[in-house]
Amino acid sequence: MNQKEERTWGTLVHLGGIIGMAILPTVGNIIGVLVLWLIKRNESKFVDDQGKEAINFQITLSIAAVIINIINNISLGLWSLANFWRHTRGDFFEFSWGWTDLIGVIWIINVIFSVIAAVKANNGISYKYPLSLRIVK
């Protein structure tokens, strides 16, 4: 694989997370990166390295999204219980936790860092995502 192809595939691997998340929000980001990485990882050390970085970042974001959803569900259950309890006494309790807004923040973080990584890869520079778990080595 020549250097131009390496850069192109490195760029695509990083953008795979955004594309996948847009198509299938729950796990599409992981699937998008994984498919692109698995296609070309044996042909280029650069693509293999950038694919590992991208997949680790997408896994990290998905773990964060799962944690946010768990917290959101627990808080919604507590809110419902409190609202039911107050309703039986004649009081009404209105409160919004706003945890679902954090999923939007994760999406924005994904777009920002994936675009930065794609631009770096397009220039032939290896990119290391900040705050990324190193699961795939």
Question: Quick one: pLDDT band at residue 104, thresholds 50, 70, 90?
Answer: confident
pLDDT value at position 83? 60
Query: For 5-9, 25-29, 80-84, which range has the lowest pLDDT when averaged over its residues?
Result: 80-84
d(CA 53, CA 55): 6
DSSP 24: S
pLDDT value at position 89? 58
d(CA 75, CA 102): 14
- Mean of the per-residue pLDDT values of the chain: 86
Q: Alpha carbon of 92 to those of 79, 81, 87, 99: distances in Å?
A: 11, 12, 6, 21
Q: Report whether pLDDT(19) > 90.
A: yes
Query: Encoding tokens for residue 88?
Result: 């039986």
Mean local confidence (pLDDT), 36-47:
94
pLDDT value at position 131? 86
So where are the chain's domains?
A: 3-122
pLDDT value at position 80? 65
Question: Quick one: pLDDT band at residue 110, thresholds 50, 70, 90?
Answer: very high
pLDDT value at position 49? 96
Query: Encoding tokens for residue 117?
Result: 């990584």
